[in-house]
Structure 1
Amino acid sequence: MLNPFRPVVLFDFDGTLADTIPLIVESYHHTLRASALPPVDEVEVRSWIGRPLQPVFEERYPGRGAELTATYRDWNLAHHDELIVRVDGMPQLLKQLVHKGVRVGVVSSKRRSTVEQGLRVVALAEYIDVLVGMDETTAHKPDPAPLLFAAEVLAVDPSQCVYVGDADVDVLAAKAAGMASIAVTWGAGTADVLQSLEPDALVRDVTELERVLLPSG
């Protein structure tokens, strides 16, 4: 396994920096109920996480992508602040990274404004040097474009970056961008699936993530 330490750490947001998985799953379930569509089991819903909303809906329900996206966003934003939860230890980790001179960014498939709101709710906004949402690029994870855009904004080579995420698209995007990849198991993806993609590291809690990002010695 390669040492994934890098001077730039880019994070996914949902399921990585913040526990938004219950919010996302219930937003999808509400959207299907409100739109008179058959229910979908949670395993499939979780497989949608990490990709932009409209392409997911359009692929599953052709011709209804825009409508379903609007329904989802209305409910999600109305319940956002009450259902989003901090990941234990994450504020302390980001503070430690910044203190050590590591530059920190967020690359998400959500709209920039929604990620900004989420960062404020979990009190992480002050640590972020760059934020890339779905607004910034036309291609999205697992395409490397959003990650490469973040590296460009920071004026660093992608090889100097590590991307931390909880979904298969996060690992795939990092590999395609030429970045180190760290998969976390407290979000949407299962450990078995994430490990099968051979990330540079697989971690199960923030303490373990800190040891990988800031190795001693």
Structure 2
Amino acid sequence: MVVLWDLDGTIQDSESLAKEGTRHGFRTVLGRVPTSVELAQLVGRPVPVVYKEWFGDELAQRILEVGTRFYEERAHKIPIFLGIADVLSRLKATSVMGVVSSKRRGHVLRELESQQLLALFDVIVAQEDTARHKPDPAPLLLAAQRLGVPTKDSVYIGDQPTDILAAAAAGMRSIAALWSDNRVSRFEGAPPTAIAHAPSDVVAVLSQMTHHMG
């Protein structure tokens, strides 16, 4: 089985730093902080794409540069979720694994490397790799293509409805990662194949999926 992972909110707990960077960019360039609605709309989508929709190219670029600089100066301090490293190491022995993220490739590589996790993954699909992004299936389809595997033999693990919708559209099974806030309700419009309340649940869930696939 191929196990594909989302990065932010699934492997690492980066939400608070991402929000701080967004606030810093808004405050510096716009003279205000983002609203709660704006912050919610940034979750699970590429930030540059959303900024361009809101502000146009030039202003979006200025906000992005300021916020990104703030984020990058502190990214080495992003923690991974408790138990994730152990689960990834265990799965590596039996599974092909990859990361599919809406984040830019440089960030993905640096952040996985800083946690000594990069070598565990056989493929990385990042923001620059596809023109369309989650919930569109394009990034997941590209990961399966690069690995040379059928999507029906792949599982995507993510913490947002966009992850689950992308997996369904790609013909993949999905696992909703609830360990960041344990809110099942956000998946009401995007039901996953299975749910994991803690990283340690993933191994058992995948074992059940493998049994049913067999």
TM-score with structure 1 setting the length: 0.89
Matched ranges for 1:72-91 at <5 A: 72-82=67-77, 84-91=78-85
Task: Classify 1:161/1:62 alpha carbon distance in 2 versus 1 (closer, same or farther; 3 Å).
Answer: same
**Aligned counterparts of 1:204 and 1:80: Cα–Cα separation in 2:** 26
After the TM superposition, which parts of structure 1 deviate over 4 Å for at least 4 consecutive aligned residues?
Answer: none
2:16 corresponds, among 8, 19, 22, to 22
Relative contact order higher in (CA < 8 Å, ≥ 6 apart): 1
Deviation per CA, 1:90-145: give whole Å up to 9, x if none: 1111111111x210000011111110111012221121010011121111111111
**Aligned counterparts of 1:169 and 1:45: Cα–Cα separation in 2:** 15
**Aligned counterparts of 1:23 and 1:43: Cα–Cα separation in 2:** 18
Corresponding residue for 2:99?
A: 106
1:199 corresponds, among 186, 192, 201, to 192
Corresponding residue for 1:4?
A: none
Matched ranges for 1:49-68 at <5 A: 49-63=43-57, 64-68=59-63
Corresponding residue for 2:131?
A: 138
1:48 corresponds, among 42, 50, 53, to 42
**Aligned counterparts of 2:190 and 2:90: Cα–Cα separation in 1:** 29
Corresponding residue for 2:33?
A: 39
Deviation at 1:31, TM superposition (A): 1.0
**Aligned counterparts of 1:211 and 1:37: Cα–Cα separation in 2:** 48
Corresponding residue for 1:186?
A: 179
Higher helix proportion (structure 1 or 2): 2
RMSD: 1.9
**Aligned counterparts of 1:90 and 1:44: Cα–Cα separation in 2:** 29
Corresponding residue for 2:89?
A: 95
Matched, 1:173 2:166: yes
Deviation at 1:37, TM superposition (A): 4.1
**Aligned counterparts of 2:133 and 2:46: Cα–Cα separation in 1:** 7
Structure 1: runs of 5+ lacking an equivalent: 1-6
Is the CA contact 1:8–1:162 (under 8 Å) kept in the aligned structure 2?
yes
**Aligned counterparts of 2:126 and 2:182: Cα–Cα separation in 1:** 20
Letter in 2 for 1:120: E
Task: Classify 1:140/1:35 alpha carbon distance in 2 versus 1 (closer, same or farther; 3 Å).
Answer: same
Letter in 2 for 1:154: L
Letter in 2 for 1:197: A
Aligned length: 209
* Percent identity (aligned): 34
Deviation per CA, 1:37-66: give whole Å up to 9, x if none: 432344641441221111111223344222
**Aligned counterparts of 2:64 and 2:85: Cα–Cα separation in 1:** 31
1:71 corresponds, among 49, 61, 66, to 66
> SS at the partner of 1:214?
helix
Structure 2: runs of 5+ lacking an equivalent: none
TM-score with structure 2 setting the length: 0.90
